[in-house]
A and B are shown apart, each in its own frame.
Chain A
């Protein structure tokens, strides 16, 4: 049975791909010819023959195999509920969903460009429209088929996981389109408004950003509304994939918002220090800040928004999960902030070491204020973020969380690796100095040793601090006491293959309430 299913759905998926590619390309070739547009293929007849053949072969094969799949599903509920069928449906939905996002973006971009006069290629609008119609037709058909299957036989286990991969994957893609599109659009608007008189051709940047944002909104909006309604919402409430998708999005938003804030502060500080072109920026500072300001605004707001979504998700679950989500968020932000702080501190020491050693060796010192501004900025952004999110000695429950241990070990790993690599460089340059290699006379090894030492110092400080925290957490971990062997009930419990749990600080009622969630068939005895 499984072999038959595999055969039917693999052939159906392959032939469906042929039909989709053939239909899109055959249609666009015909449209190019009708509209006298420049065709992408040198020989139109070759294109007709090739794509025509793909459809002529693919369509009957897909038709026959899909008809068989539907017939078996109608006869047998197990067939309809099978994970292989769901795999086919959600793979096709994901592929057509991604294609839909791409063609929708192209259609909006071409249409807006055409209306605003930045694009004069009318044929490309028709081509994108055709591709969008084909892809959305197939997507709708498969979406409806999956919904019918869900209504008839339900969706659980692997099938539900496959649906979540599709839904949360598309939500992530849509959100990325939406946020990057909004950031780029805000940046372009800023430049156009600030430097209106100097822009001689606005180009297609605004239509492109607008199209990215709007297509992202459609994909994200549809799928997030779909997953927020019963019965999918209840089913996905405790889903790990849903939380992973949100945490991934949150990580990206926090990292980009921190980057944007660093850039903004860097430009400001550099101007205070009298640097005319910070970071090699050649345009006016008002134009230069367009990108970081737009990044901070869009990704900062998204950060708050996703944080609220996570809190709302956790609010609908039990207290343990709420606390887990809160800790994961806090440790994630603390980790990113610490990385920013570490780069800033190491970079600052590196620049100062360069400056001091070059002066001592009578080498030209070069521009240092620009780099100092950059690294001070990273410290200024990273330090407060880290101090507000990191707690050295929290309550015991937080000390034992997985997210805290992940944070501590990831930080230790990064610090040890950085110290190891920089230490090796330091020793290598020290040996070069001692052995008098070709560049030793110029003092190059001394400069490199100063740089390596800067990284070693910061990595060692961070590593040592976190190692001590790790040790302190381990010391605070409660020791599991040996169970007294003389107690008769305990002895009985062990003999029956059960376990003994000692609980303090809770009433009988609270313990009974907690134990009521045990599976059917489980029994317990409460003894004081």
Chain B
């Protein structure tokens, strides 16, 4: 079976090939750049705590994600109490909700006081919608400052980030 050599491909097809090549390289480059510029994944800032949580959930590392959740069960004023969730339940949620393509998560806004913070996130999932290619939803994560750093106090809902 012989299909053809590169020199016999017409000019528009060669341009298309070049476009695909450029997009591939730039896409991989953009992913690597993003990794180097995102907030540091540690609990010293609210954004860092949320980053740690989201990356751990997407990697299926339930122990690391669990460590960022506040264990006291004290809800933020005006918020409904968080459901009681054991570490095993949380691990099961993380393992059972894994999807082949994890969503992109962006910070839309950070509202912070001295001891509490609230972060608005935009979660974008790949979609079959031919017009947009993605579906987005907004998620708000509440945090509280504890002795060892910022911890998530709202319902963890790991499936939202998977």
Q: Which A residues are closer than 8 A to B by beta carbons?
A: 38, 106, 109-110, 112, 116-121, 124, 140, 143-144, 147, 178, 180, 182-189, 191-193, 195-210, 213-214, 217, 221-222, 224-226, 228-229, 256, 259, 282-283, 287, 291, 295, 301, 305, 308-309, 312
Contacts and interface: CB of A to CB of B under 8 A. Distances in A.
B30 A200 contact: no
A203 B35 contact: no
B59 interface: yes
Given A144-B1, A210-B24, A201 B54 contact: yes
Contacts of A214: 20, 24
Name the residue in B10, B27, B30, B102 with the highest tally of chain A Cβ atoms < 10 Å from its Cβ. Answer: B27
B59 A283 contact: no
A204 B99 CA distance: 10
A308 B16 CA distance: 13
A205 B124 contact: yes
B12 A200 contact: no
Interface stretch (B64-72, B76-84, B103-111): B103-111
A188 to B, nearest CB: 7
Nearest to B101: A204
B108 A283 contact: yes
A38 B96 CA distance: 10
A124 B102 CA distance: 14
A502 to B, nearest CB: 44
A147 B58 contact: no
Contacts, number: 166
Given A120-B59, A226-B3, A283-B106, A184 B133 contact: yes
B1 A147 contact: yes
Contact of A208 (B17, B35, B101, B132): B101
Contacts of A259: 131
Nearest to B54: A201
A254 to B, nearest CB: 14
Interface in B74-132: 95, 98, 100-108, 121-122, 124, 126, 130-132
A85 to B, nearest CB: 19
A217 to B, nearest CB: 5
Contacts of A282: 108, 122, 138
B62 interface: no
Contacts of A178: 16, 20
Given A208-B101, A225-B9, A201 B58 contact: yes
Contacts of A229: 3-4
Interface string B129-152: 011111000100000000000000
A236 to B, nearest CB: 15
Interface string B3-14: 110000110110
B19 A182 contact: yes
A395 to B, nearest CB: 30
B9 to A, nearest CB: 7
Given A189-B26, A214-B20, A305-B16, A201 B130 contact: no
Nearest to A291: B132
A189 B102 contact: no
22 contacts: A112-B28, A117-B35, A118-B31, A120-B59, A182-B19, A193-B33, A196-B34, A200-B38, A200-B54, A201-B161, A203-B58, A203-B102, A213-B24, A217-B17, A221-B17, A226-B3, A256-B130, A282-B108, A291-B131, A291-B132, A291-B133, A308-B12
A200 B47 CA distance: 8
Contact of B13 (A116, A222, A224): A224
